[in-house]
Structures are given as structure tokens and as C-alpha cells.
Chain A
């Protein structure tokens, strides 16, 4: 099982993702926006980062670029959580160094499966 950081400003979604991943057996750390994520990732060293795109203070893109600029954490895969209808953001997100997108709303089972696949692709879990 992996350590996963969730950066999401919407508490309902953050709680749901946290609950879902914990239920699947993962250790979960949360951040309420991109700036907090950039601050705690080097300390927590998660195996995977799930990040909302639109967050206050620092967007997901900005946070992702910042993390990719920190050598010790640049290898950690970042997956964006983005609302359906905002597919145009995908290219920009991938350009910022994200590994993948997961579109919201997602079924909890789908999220767990996709997270597991990504972890396996990175030799984790």
C-alpha cells in the first residue's frame, strides 16, 4: 500500500477521496491548496500526488511546476483531478509535468483501480 497526498480545496471531495483511499488501505496526507502541497510534499515524501487543478493561492499547475523543480520530489507522479467539461486543461496540465488526469466526478471504485494501476506502473504497491 502506498502513501498518497491529496491536494484539494473542496472539503467534501477531499474527504471522500481520503476516505476512499484509506478504505483501500493507503496512507493518506491532505493539503487544502497547492501552496500547502508544495510545502509538505518534501517532508511527507508521498508515493503519489492527486491534485485538483483549480485551487486558491496556488493552482494545481503552479504547484506541479514547483514540485517538478524540486529535485528530491520531482520523480513523484502527479495526477490531476479535473472536472468534466474542462478537458482543454489536460494539455496544459501534462505540460506542467503531470502524469495523468482523472476526470471528476469519478466513481470511488474507478478511482481506486486507476490509482492502483498508476502505482504499479511506477513500481509501487
Chain B
């Protein structure tokens, strides 16, 4: 086991191979371990690092470090400690969001050579918050409301629809009702100094998914429980501090990995499992926007769920190697087996 300490907390990682550096970042379910087959296949040409994020696997479990920006900082500090000036990031789920944030952060963006984002949460759920206080025509503060920009509906997959309900709403019902009720009367905005601070959360499909269901249940939906890899994932998921999952999921009220992808400038390959039943299926309009982004290849891997790197190891490694070796991402040849499919 390899480990370093960052700010007096243990960070567990493993490394294999020699060559250009690649950092593999895990998702909400599991730890560094499910990258092992990928590391073994890349080791002859690349130096592959796989680390456990804060709260996962064998890394430190201090809840004050679980926020997404702290995980991004962990990645930055890890690279500094390993002496890696520029890297290929391969992120999965939560790891994809961390990689995308890293790739748009002004202090780190230039450190990303290119990145592959597997099963990134493509929910455009970071609405612009408009805080406004409504008062009655008597000047009495009556209600504090949070207006959000319209969000595209979050479409759930069939299997998500069958599970105990994951409620995805635009506004909490009670707040919506109050807004309707009060906006029906004459209202005036109060002076700026009186604007109250409100902290209502907008819809957050990712948060709902991870707060409503035990991790083990989510794992059984994310990949086939009949496989040998499932048992390994289950053992690693059991090490996770659930608070780390919940805290990171909360960030999706404020950030959008979809928008980060559009903002990032590093060459990028986004990989989706055709039958991913863990995350909300992205709207076709979002996928079209990704398709139009320069230096981006969007790939839907057939017959895979949330863990394409385990569910079709050979195809995944071929795709990753092609992506790593393409001199120019725009020239990456799309093979029939992983051609982008219209949903």
C-alpha cells in the first residue's frame, strides 16, 4: 500500500507502470481498486496513479474535507507531491466531476493534457439563483423566495423509475405554493439592505439519488451483481464514509459538470454506459451540445452500465488507448463498436 500525508491526513494511492502520467479518479461507489484492470493494461506505456478521494477507500475520513472543492484541491496537492506537472485525467462519476472542475480552475487548467470523463453526471442542474424578497403592499416582509432559471427535466431511466421514488422537483412544493400565493398579490421589493439571506436548495438530482438510497442498493443497480467484480466493488464501497458521498452530491446544486465540460479547453472524451441505470439519462439536447464542442468525442459504450471499465474491459481499454494516442482528438477514429448512438 502506498500512501502520503496531505495536511496531516493519509491519502492512499497505488501506482503502476512507466511513461506519461495518468491519474484515475473513482466514482461515488468503490475506490481506487476498480481501476486495477485498466492500470494493468496501460502499465507498459503509462505511469498510472489511482488514488482514494477523501472519505473513500483507505484515505482519511475527515468530514471537513468532503466538499467537492476540497477533493479538487486534493488532486492538485497530490500532483504537486508526485511531481506531476501535466497529466491525463480519467475520472468516473464523481471523479469525472472533480476532473472537470480541475480542468476549468484557473490555477490548474493548464495542468490537464487531456481527459476522459466516464459516466459524468450530465444534469444541467446548476440554475442561476435569483434571491429576492417579496413584501406585501403594506411593506411588511411576507416571503422569501428563490427564483430559479428553468431547468431541463431530469429523465429517469426505466430502472430508476421502478425503484423507490427519487423525487426531482424544481422547487420544494411548499415554497412553490407560497411563491404562487404571494405573487398573486401586489408586491414591492424591499430596499437592498433589507434583502434577506436565503439558503434554499434548487433541484439536485444527484443529491436525491445518493441521499435517498443506501450505497449498497445503488451499487446493485449500477452494475450486475452476478459478476466477480461486484463483490470487490461491494467490499470497497463498504469502506466509504457515506457523509463523503452526501457532501459531494450536495455540490451539484451549485455546479454543473455539463457546463464545466463545455467550458474546459483540454481535449476530452466523454464515455457513457448505454444502460447506465444509476445516473439520470442526459437529455438529447445536452448531448447535442457536447457533440458540437470542439475537441470532444462523445462515446456511448454498448451493453455497459455505470462501470464500463469493468463491464467491457477490453473495449474500454482499446478506447482509452486510442484516445491517449491520438495526436489530435479530432482525428480520433470512431470505431463502430463505440460509435455515438442516438438515444
User: Footprint of B on A, CB under 8 Å?
Assistant: 11-12, 15-16, 19-20, 23, 108
Contact = CB atoms under 8 A, between A and B. Distances in A.
A118 to B, nearest CB: 20
Contact of A12 (B14, B37, B39, B44): B44
B40 A16 contact: yes
B334 interface: no
Contacts of A20: 40
A93 B44 CA distance: 27
A50 to B, nearest CB: 16
B36 A15 contact: no
Contacts of B43: 12, 15-16, 19
Q: Majority SS of interface residues in chain A?
A: helix
A12 B18 contact: yes
A19 to B, nearest CB: 5
B31 to A, nearest CB: 12
B40 A19 contact: yes
Given A19-B40, A20-B40, 12 more contacts: A12-B17, A12-B43, A15-B17, A15-B43, A16-B16, A16-B40, A16-B43, A16-B44, A19-B16, A19-B43, A108-B37, A108-B40
Contacts of A12: 17-18, 43-44
Nearest to B18: A12
A15 B40 contact: no
A2 to B, nearest CB: 18
23 contacts: A11-B18, A12-B17, A12-B18, A12-B43, A12-B44, A15-B16, A15-B17, A15-B43, A16-B16, A16-B17, A16-B40, A16-B43, A16-B44, A19-B14, A19-B16, A19-B36, A19-B39, A19-B40, A19-B43, A20-B40, A23-B33, A23-B36, A108-B40
Interface string B1-34: 0000000000000101110000000000000010
B14 to A, nearest CB: 8
Contacts of A16: 16-17, 40, 43-44
Contacts of A108: 37, 40
Looking at B14, B33, B36, which has the most chain A CB atoms within 10 Å of its CB? B36
Interface string B258-301: 00000000000000000000000000000000000000000000
Contacts of A19: 14, 16, 36, 39-40, 43
Nearest to A15: B16
Interface in B44-69: 44
A16 B47 CA distance: 12
Contacts of B18: 11-12
B132 to A, nearest CB: 55
Nearest to A19: B16
Nearest to B43: A16
Nearest to A107: B40
A11 B39 CA distance: 16
Nearest to B48: A19
Nearest to B44: A12
Nearest to B19: A12
A23 B235 CA distance: 14
Contacts of B39: 19
Nearest to A13: B44
Nearest to B40: A108
A25 to B, nearest CB: 11
Nearest to B232: A23
CB-based closest 6 A-B pairs: A108-B40, A19-B16, A23-B36, A16-B43, A12-B44, A15-B16
Nearest to B313: A109
Q: Please indicate which of the listed interface residues A19, A20, A108 has the most CB atoms of chain B within 10 Å of its own CB.
A: A19
B269 to A, nearest CB: 24
A6 to B, nearest CB: 14
Contacts of A11: 18
Contacts of B40: 16, 19-20, 108
Nearest to B41: A108
A1 B33 CA distance: 18
Name which of B37, B40, B44 has the most chain A CB atoms within 10 A of its CB: B40
A67 B18 CA distance: 32
A2 B18 CA distance: 27
